[in-house]
Structure 1
Amino acid sequence: MNAPLDLERARFNMIEQQIRPWDVLELDILDLLGALKREDFVPPAHQALAFVDMEIPLVEDAEDAARNGLCMLPPRVEARLLQDAAIKPADKVLEVGAGSGYMAALLARRAERVVTLERHPEMAKLARANLQKAGISNAEVREADGARGLPGEAPFDVIMLSGSVAEVPRVLLDQLKPGGRLVAIVGDDPVMRATFVTRAGDGTFETRQPWDTSAPRLIGFPEASRFRF
């Protein structure tokens, strides 16, 4: 069997054995995951892991990758976040943590425009190159501290944090449109929760945490105070 067929079988298995069992059932999401080549966003040294249910380091030192949030999330987590974010074709999306650009590419195939922020210069360069190679023209990578968001271009329909934080910063919530959604993984190991915060028209916020998962920390976000009275 030749290599392309092996890749397609691995992609099919990823969708059927990892992603569908995690309640990702929307056909357009599954079709997108089948069409966008995840392996093209994985560093060459780890391409054999492109469809494996694990975090993939984006730098050679795996410990450094985990410590600095330089990992691709497992396919099932990416897919579930994408589905539950409910991206609409006219949405303007802000992503924090570009990494290799894979989530930005997925978002860009669903939204009108994506801006993705990456604080690591080499990662920003990699994400730009990967998005260009994939023919994604409506996603822009900026080298910036994502913890501050992008207030000069707010408000956004969706803000997605592609990594975990101890708590959702108010500065990002304030950059949502009425009806806008923030998507994050919130908490501390071993218990983190997928968190979806929707801004109501009156400026209040509704929070849902429908499923558990874990993810490396995004750098630059404050840790929750551990002091208790």
Structure 2
Amino acid sequence: MNFEQARFNMIEQQIRPWDVLDLSVLALLSSVRREDFVPAELRTLAFTDTELPLGGGRRALAPRVEARIAQELQLQRTDKVLEIGTGIGYLTALLGHKAQSVVSLEADAGLARAAAEKLRRAGLSNVQVREADGRQGAPGEAPFDAIVLAGSVAEVPQVLLDQLKVGGRLLGIVGDEPVMRAVLVRRVGEKEFQTTELFDTVVQRLAGFESRPAFAF
């Protein structure tokens, strides 16, 4: 398989049409080898517009969603980032290339180990992957310039918003199937937050953030 041609096709046919036009993000998509992050048996599917199965009911985010998240965060080289849900580690790698440091929390021990090794091989020494479900974030290392929820939630947890710096932002995908929306929440004061709606999409619920069943009498 011609991976370079497949990567080019992914960018031109999936990523650009989804309004990912930031040149720095497009350059990263060209240079960070997604095929090195997906499970080995799925390498030939690394550039397809789909959520690849990871076992245990987990699925990887589609490439266009990862690219759009990386663009909308508008990371700076001085930013300290918290990611909830490492998955295959590809989005983590994109964040690591743009930020000063990334702490990524992954609930699945096997995925956490695999992603950490792939990120190490990719030379990203500024990224740490830890086995944790992420519901409480990383309060010991807060505040963060940016927090990324690499999966959906019913609502953005206040405990994570409280770990943002003033001026920091959190990107999450909020809602329940079949209606979900990516939002950017910016902390504009100690107790004040502003939310911007970005785009509609549907992605898997973050591990540990599953909606609880409604109480029934």
Give the TM-score range, shorter chain. over 0.9
User: Which of 151, 154, 167 is residue 166 of structure 1 equivalent to?
Assistant: 154
Greater share of residues in helix: 1
CA contact (8 A) 1:178 1:203 kept: no
| Residue of structure 2 in register with 1:50 after alignment | 46
Moved over 4 A (4+): 224-227
AA in 2 matched with 1:214: V
State how far apart, in whole Å, the 1-side matches of 2:13 and 2:42 are: 21
The separation in 1 between residues aligned to 2:110 and 2:143, in whole angstroms, is 28
What is the aligned counterpart of 2:7 among 3, 8, 11?
11
Q: Give the letter aligned to residue 213 of structure 1.
A: T
Q: CA offset at residue 103 of structure 1?
A: 1.1
Match of 2:109 among 98, 118, 121: 121
8 Å CA contact retained: 1:167, 1:224: no
> TM-score w.r.t. structure 2 length?
0.96
Let me know the Cα RMSD of the aligned residues. Answer: 1.5
C-alpha separation between the residues in 2 aligned to 1:104 and 1:75? 13
**Structure 2 Cα separation of the partners of residues 161 and 183 of structure 1:** 6
Q: Does 1:28 align with 2:43?
A: no
SS in 1 for 2:76: coil
Q: How does 1:1-229 map to 2 (within 5 A)?
A: 3=1, 6-59=2-55, 64-65=56-57, 70-221=58-209, 223=211, 226=214
The residue identity in structure 2 corresponding to 1:13 is N
Provide the C-alpha distance between the structure 2 equivalents of 1:220 and 1:129, rounded to a whole number of angstroms.
23
Letter in 2 for 1:122: G
Instruction: Quote the offset at 1:201 in angstroms.
Output: 2.6
CA distance, structure 2, for counterparts of residue 149 and residue 202 of structure 1: 18
Deviation at 1:33, TM superposition (A): 0.4
Query: In 1, distance between residues paired with 2:210 and 2:37?
Result: 29
**Contact 1:95/1:117 (CA < 8 Å) preserved in 2?**
yes
Structure 2 residue ranges without an equivalent (≥5): none
- Distance change in 2, residues 1:71/1:218 (3 Å): same
In the TM superposition, residue 72 of structure 1 has moved relative to its aligned partner by 1.5
Identity percentage of aligned residues: 56
Structure 1 regions of 5+ residues with no counterpart? Answer: none
